[in-house]
A and B are shown apart, each in its own frame.
Chain A
Amino acid sequence: MAKKILQVVESAYRATIEEQDDTVVWLSNMMKGAGMNLDLLLVGGAVNYVIKNQDPSGLAIGDWKQAHPPELAQDLEKLIGKGSTVYLVEDDATVRGLERNDFIAGIKAIPRAGMAKLFDAYDQVWHW
């Protein structure tokens, strides 16, 4: 049976402008597509990825204009659509003033105190 991996994303907005996505969410999408059994947990600032209606468009430097700004929530929706579960730490969302009705569909919120129990359900936990 394939190993079950939990990807923990804490380094938020790392290279999201240049890569036009989050690099770990991207990697997760690729690995899920290649058959890996993985889920994702968003921690710290990364909880903001689940918010609907984010608009990072409009970056321009000189004559250069960004054609495809990152679509972080949509990339999470793709991952959910492939069968992965996307969790977030509810405490981190709450302290940032983020509310559940602002989340995209399918996000599972867990309390910080529940992280250890969640980790225990996986063969490996990768902390990014």
Chain B
Amino acid sequence: MKRHLLMLLGLAGMSFVYTGCTKDPLNNLSTDESRIYITDHDSSVNFSNYKTFNISDSVAVIDNGSMKKQLGAVDSAYINTVTKYMEQDGYTLVSKEQNPDVGVDVNRIISTSTGVISYGDYWGYYDSYWDPYYWGYPGYGYYIPYGYSVYQIKEGAISVDMLDLKNAAQDKKINVIWTGLIRGSGIFDTTVADSQVKALFDQSPYLKTN
């Protein structure tokens, strides 16, 4: 009897440890800790050669493959914040008519039905989201010289892309020279826009023009 009781207690203890005592990584993350910031750039580019920039007047919202331009409160917050950190890195905001050296796009990527979007697909349709005509180069294509990885995007992401307009006419294409991607929970919020964009610029010190 005592033996059976001991066995029962031991087995119950083991079951408890096996099912109840494993630490769930996702339950132990704060909202801030859940976010990741990915940046990449063209290593052949010397960013100090670029002095001026212009930023898109709206955000491309890519929702399960379809795209629309939008300028809501969140979009404005991200555009204003990217502008702020570009200026802090030494770039001067100019109008498109003043031939900026760099064009900056902001994109919101949402997945609501399939749950997964391939970042590769996002690049495949980039010229439909941002017609090169927008930057004054109709008929040109975009080119990303570094091997940007494919990410499975769940929930959503915000991407910021820097385009080389200074050499577009000479290269006959618009090179993407820097990309930043923000992923995680709660990023579509005006109150967190500043800290999210700051993280991208903080981990890209090579962007400074001076």
* A and B part of one assembly: no
